[in-house]
Amino acid sequence: MTEYAVVIERSPNNYGAWVPDLDGCVSTGKTLEEVKTNIAEAIEMHIESLREHGEPVPPPVAQVAVVQVAS
């Protein structure tokens, strides 16, 4: 099992997600759980498409951290 970092952003109407290591791999969902499910499916389809076209599958290298700062 491979794990890719995913960035999830809240918008006024839904959530959006993108994968830093997979250029163009994005998805949306009305809820946080839905966007997580949708981006997982998008990652699988993205990798499948890369393989079908004979393109290399980028390894996961991006890391995610939550950093606290004084506000």
- How many domains in the chain? 1
Question: What is the rounded distance in angstroms from the CA atom of residue 61 to the CA atom of residue 4?
Answer: 8
Give the pLDDT confidence of 47-58 residue by residue, as tens digits.
999 999 999 999
Please answer whether residues 51 and 58 qualify as being in contact, where contact means their C-beta atoms are separated by less than 8 angstroms: no
**Which domain range does residue 11 map to?**
1-71
Q: What is the CATH number of the domain that holds 60?
A: 3.30.160.250
Query: Residue 30 has which token pair?
Result: 């009305």
Give the pLDDT confidence of 6-44 residue by residue, as tens digits.
999 999 999 999 999 999 999 999 999 999 999 999 999
